[in-house]
Amino acid sequence: MIISEFAKQLNLNPLFESSKNINVEGVYIGDLLSIVMSKAKQNFVWITIQTHINIVAVAELLELSCIIVVENMEVELETVNKAKELDIPILKTNKSAYEVACMLHDSGIK
């Protein structure tokens, strides 16, 4: 599924246009980067409140499907620009991490 379809299905706001196809094999919710690095897996969606540029580095290192920033946190421009450069989708929502996880579960996205 392309990221724009994924975002539309879950009513998420993409922070830049990406034509990337994503494969979702799991979800990880966490904000402590070192824990995310040890627990999240390739093709996972990462749900977080973190917005610093280092989230892009973690997503690239782990080959995550995308990053979903929740609670309407303001994502730093430097972070968005780096994500664009590496084509790592960042989506944003005002919903909580729990609500987004439930939406992913209910949608059956895999």
pLDDT at position 110, please?
58
DSSP state of 79: H
pLDDT tens for each residue of 64-105: 999 999 999 999 999 999 999 999 999 999 999 999 999 999
The strand pair at 90-92 and 13-14 is best described as antiparallel
Per-residue pLDDT, averaged over 54-61, amounts to 98
Residue range 21-54, pLDDT digits in tens: 888 899 999 999 999 999 999 999 999 999 999 9
The dihedral through the CA atoms of 78, 75, 107, 97 has a sign that is positive
Tokens of 57: 């580095």
Would you list the domain boundaries of the chain?
Answer: 3-107
Q: Give pLDDT, residue 22.
A: 87
CATH numeric code, 3-107: 3.40.1390.20
Q: Is the CB of residue 65 less than 8 Å from the CB of residue 53?
A: no
Helix, strand, coil share of the chain (percent; to 5): 40, 20, 40
Strand partners, 84: none
Asked whether the whole model's pTM tops 0.85, one would answer yes
